[in-house]
Structure 1
Amino acid sequence: MTVIEIRPARPAELAAVARLRWRWVAEQDGLPAGGRDAFVRDFAAWAREHAETHRCLIAVRDGEVIGMAFLAVTARVPTPTAVSRAAGDVQSVYVVPEARDSGVGGRLIDATLALAAELGLERVTVHSSTRAIPAYERHGFARSPHLLQARLSEPGASPVRNNRSRTAPR
């Protein structure tokens, strides 16, 4: 039986995580312009620099990184009853296609939520693909009528402008 380990990524494994990120983008949008080696180097450096705010968990099978998930931790404004507050956002959950639908993604989600609980986070959000929504719901996520999103821009597009004026009409 093949054992799949879910655990925090080690610094030496960040290049493998970067290659997963490259593969994911290639699957969705085609091969990115630019060099993969440069991206892997830059991504690994970014992940090391942001290790406190972006915790990386990985799925490892037979010594190979086959999945990843990031928990982005954000400080929240203090309240009179809690000065130290934080929330989390699940980001970049990816499992290689040949390991999908085997529970690896769910295990990454569970490990990410366990890490969030360990860190004492108040809540965890996720911006999910349509395909993954049922998986997140099976692991405790629920749709929120209060969580809103404003798209400020699309890659390569002008920022969205609010056409409503705060002043009286002319």
Structure 2
Amino acid sequence: MTEIEVRAARPAELETVAELRWRWVAEQDGLPGDGREAFVREFAAWMRENAATHHCLVVVRAGRVLGMAFLAVTARVPTPTAFSRACGDVQSVYVVPEARDGGLGGRLIDGVLRLAEELELERVTVHSSSRAVPAYRRRGFSVAPQLLQVPVRR
């Protein structure tokens, strides 16, 4: 059996991650064929510029990147007892369709949670698709009545 690795995306893989992001949106919403190359280039640049706050993990099997997940880290206002505070948000967890239902998404979530622990984050949130909710619940995520949201439209 081929070893599966979950790790930080390497600089040479940023375009591959951008391709995954394009593929995911195309899968969900459909996209025109044109614009892909520009998006990949710009998204890879965005990842480089935001690497300090948006940590990208990939799941790799036999040298092929099969999925991605981001942990977005946000500083929180200090308190008298904890000056350095931060929280995380799981974003853009995606596994290519041909590799789904084999636990790779769960491995990405586990990797994100390990990273959150290493970074000593206070909490981690996620806005999940209904299909993925059970995977998050298995890892300890739960509904928090105090965590409210309001959609902001432009």
Shorter-chain TM-score: which interval? over 0.9
Confirm whether residue 140 of structure 1 aligns to residue 151 of structure 2.
no
Alpha-carbon separation, structure 1, partners of 2:97 and 2:3: 18
**3-state SS, counterpart of residue 68 of structure 2:** strand
Residue identity over aligned pairs, in percent, reads 73
Tell me the residue number matched to 1:168. Answer: none
Alpha-carbon deviation of 1:34?
A: 4.1
The unaligned stretches of length 5 or more in structure 1 are 154-158, 160-170
Change (3 A) 1:22 1:78: same
1:73-92 matches, within 5 Å, as 73-92=73-92
- Equivalent residue letter for 1:143: V
Contact 1:25 1:32 in 2 (8 A): no
TM-score by length of 2: 0.97
TM-score by length of 1: 0.88
Matched length = 154
What residue is the counterpart of 1:58 in the other structure? 58
Indicate the SS of the match to 2:129.
coil
Larger relative CO (CA 8 A, sep 6+): 1 or 2?
Answer: 2
> What corresponds to 1:120 in structure 2?
120
SS of corresponding position for 2:74: strand
Segments of structure 2 that go 5 or more residues without pairing to the other structure are: none
Residue deviations 1:70-120, cap 9 Å, x none?
A: 000000000010110000000000000111110100000000000000000
Matched, 1:105 2:71: no
Matches within 5 A, 1:10-29: 10-29=10-29
Counterparts in 2 of 1:102 and 1:152: CA distance versus 1, 3 Å: same
TM-fit CA distance, 1:33: 6.4
For 1:7 and 1:30, the matched residues in 2 are separated by 29
Which portions of structure 1, spanning 4 or more consecutive aligned residues, are displaced by more than 6 angstroms? none
Letter in 2 for 1:82: A
Asked which structure has the greater CA Rg, the reply is: 1
Cα drift, residue 32 of structure 1: 4.2
Give secondary structure in 2 for the equivalent of 1:122. Answer: coil
